[in-house]
Amino acid sequence: MLIPDIVRNISDLEQILLLQQKNLKEHLSADERKSQGFLTLSHSLEILHAMHSMAPSIVIRDQDTVVAYALTEMPACRHLMPGLEPMFELIDTLDYKGRPLSSYLYYTMGQICVDEAYRGQGLFDLLYQHHRQIFAPTYQLLLTEISTSNTRSLQAHRRVGFGELCIHRDDLDEWSLVVWDWMG
């Protein structure tokens, strides 16, 4: 049975990196990117370890093999990866429901990925539901940004309950910044 859990050890982090490498935009054909989605940013083991030390990420294992993950990224992680700084700078300038977005208790989804052999089984939704179960008692909002060319991911995030805050462009891509509001 495939059950979500938090990252438990260094092996989980190493397996996240292996799955990440297989799904990076530069390692996929244009057809694969369009039909299956893709990842944009590559993490190092050191960065994942630092992120995990702030808050655990969520994985789904098939026995001992990580087959899906959703990276928890606290605002304090903003300086770990330069590619993320534009998103956090934007968050600092936006309002949500009449007050500064940064005044809410929030964190960001660093990245979500399901192994190709396990897609279509509801794991994407399961990862996010587990995030909500663990973090909603403490946090009001979950934010993430998605490449506007990643239509599969945009649709999946809408299905889970995310709504678009804005579209912005940085040096890497054009992004849809989305929010999942857990307050109501």
> Looking at residue 156, which CATH number applies to its domain?
3.40.630.30
Residue 84 has pLDDT above 90, yes or no: no
Share of the chain above pLDDT 70, in %: 100
pLDDT in tens, 124-159: 999 999 999 999 999 999 999 999 989 989 999 999
How much is the pLDDT for 172?
79
State what percent of residues in the chain have pLDDT above 90. Answer: 78
Please state the pTM of the whole predicted model.
Answer: 0.92
Strands 141-147 and 174-181, by their bridges, are: antiparallel
Mind spelling out the 3-state secondary structure of the chain? CCEEEECCCHHHHHHHHHHHHHCEHHHCCHHHHHHHCCECCCCCHHHHHHHHHHCCCEEEEECCEEEEEEEEECHHHHHCCHHHHHHHHHHCCCEECCEEHHHCCEEEEEEEEECHHHCCCCHHHHHHHHHHHHHCCCCCEEEEEEECCCHHHHHHHHHHCCEEEEEEECCCCEEEEEEEECCC
- Number of domains comprising the chain: 1
pLDDT (tens digit per residue) in 3-48: 999 999 999 999 999 999 998 888 888 888 887 877 777 899 999 9
How many Cα atoms within 13 Å fall on the side-chain side of residue 103? 8
pLDDT value at position 69?
A: 96
More confident residue, 161 or 85: 161
How confident is the prediction for the chain on average, in pLDDT?
93
Structural domain range at position 31 = 3-181
- The confidence score (pLDDT) of residue 40 equals 74
Answer yes or no: are the C-beta atoms of 26 and 145 closer than 8 Å. Answer: no
pLDDT of residue 75: 93
More confident residue, 82 or 71: 71
Judged by average pLDDT, the poorest of 2-11, 34-43, 68-77, 110-119 is 34-43
In this prediction, residue 171 has a pLDDT band, given cuts at 50, 70 and 90, of: confident
Asked if residue 80 lies in contact with residue 51, where contact means CB atoms within 8 angstroms, the answer is yes
Residue in this structure with the two tokens 């956090």, named with its chain if needed = 88
